[in-house]
Amino acid sequence: MFKVPRIIPAMHCIAANPQSAIRNRPMHFRRVCLESFGYTLPDETVTTAELERRLAPLYERLRLPEGRLELMTGIRERRFFPPGTRPSTVSIESARKAIDASGIDPRYFGALVHGSVCRDFLEPATACRVHHGLDLPPDAMIYDVSNACLGLLNGVVQVASMIELGHIRAGVVVGTECGRSLVDNTIAQLNSDQTLTRDSVKNSIASLTIGSASAAIVLCDAELSQTDNRLTTAMVRCDTSQHDLCQSRGLETFMQTDSEELMRQGVAAGAETFERFLAAAGWEPDDIDRTFCHQVGVAHRKLMFESLGLNPEIDFATVETLGNTGSAALPVTMAIGIEQGQLHAGDRVAMLGIGSGINCLMLAVEWQRSLPRVEEQTPQRRRQTAKVD
């Protein structure tokens, strides 16, 4: 007689400690390497003083002192791509630099994630044009990820998980933020809105910190790696009760940000995440040799390091000269730090991402070797695999 199989409810499979089974566990990786970086910065530099000159009508009406914007943010300048720049065009350039620097045959790449806020269109995915421009394999998984300033880091975790599971050998995460339109439109609206006060104008300050940049990261399995830079741990945490502190309908429209409250709540969420991150990585704060963080402003950086109990001297920052470049901020900063010799064999590196929403994502990396820049590599130093599995 046919017997109907017994279906065991999922909760019956929970271990002795049900609370530990319910709580999300940290992500650990054993075979994933953070292999190489590529980045592209705009040629045009725009100083904060120049933005204030453009804001003269607002400053005169509200009697705001010159230098106020740089004093509040610590940002001296930022860069912008030319008007009309398509994110995919720059992303192709950055991803090609990262892939070339890795020396890994493009046929090994099984995933491409485009993670910036800026995209060419709502559809198709911007990753499609980037994939085509890079001539990566047709069986690669490609898509866009959008999560405010954490999009690229989310992509890193997703590609790392594919590698850890053995689904792919290598993948690239890339994104390009084009902030010119947001800054231009913010200035125009601030100058034309006669109802603004010294207090209400504060909700637009964050928009004026935005800059443009592009970054790409190649990840691969340990067998392909020349660096053995191991991505070991990832920890996530969110506080979505604060989702309305920063809202924008797009980088071409106005953005409203309660900067002071977002800073307080973001740092609080970051501190909770950091405590769990340390436990998951098996680190103490003093074990961390170098940090790379999302770049918002000088005051935010100071408060965050005080809250985390970290020495700010271990942090490498670019916010003063690049501004807030969204999802590209942390990877661009890390790429520049690598170029400048900020990482050494044996360094324990913490990548600390905090974005609006509020979302936190922190990554632990055991660093061993930095690959030379693309233009420094010779054909003999590039590894080209003759046979692809």
What is the C-alpha separation between 116 and 4, in angstroms, rounded? Answer: 50
Which of 60, 123, 313, 376 is an active site residue?
Answer: 123
- Does residue 261 have an active-site annotation? no
Rounded distance between C-alpha atoms, residue 213 and residue 53, angstroms: 24
Q: CA–CA separation, 168 vs 165, rounded Å?
A: 8
Q: Indicate left, alpha or beta for 323 from its phi (over 0: left) and psi (-120 to 50: alpha).
A: left
CA angle at 115 for the pair 111 and 255, rounded to the nearest 5°:
170
Q: Rounded CA gap, 213 and 152, in Å?
A: 13
Q: Which residues of 173-196 are buried (b: 16+ CB within 10 A; e: fewer)?
A: bbbbbbbbbbbebbbeebbeeeeb
Q: Which residues lie below 8 Å from residue 382, measured CB to CB, with a gap of 6+?
A: 100, 103
Residue 13 bears catalytic tag = no
Quick one: 55 exposed, middle or buried, by C-beta within 10 A (0-12, 13-18, 19+)?
A: buried
Q: Measured between alpha carbons, how far is 239 from 385 in angstroms, rounded to an integer?
A: 45
Which position among 33, 118, 128, 149 bears the catalytic label?
149
- Report the SS3 class of residue 140: coil
CB 352 within 8 A of CB 309: no
Question: What angle is formed at CA 156 by the lines to CA 153 and CA 160, rounded to 5 degrees?
Answer: 150
For residue 218, what are its two tokens?
A: 């190649």
β-sheet bridge partners, residue 257: 246
Interatomic CA distance for residues 46 and 167, integer angstroms:
44
Which is it for the CA torsion 230, 312, 262, 250, positive or negative?
negative
User: Annotated active-site positions, please?
Assistant: 123, 149
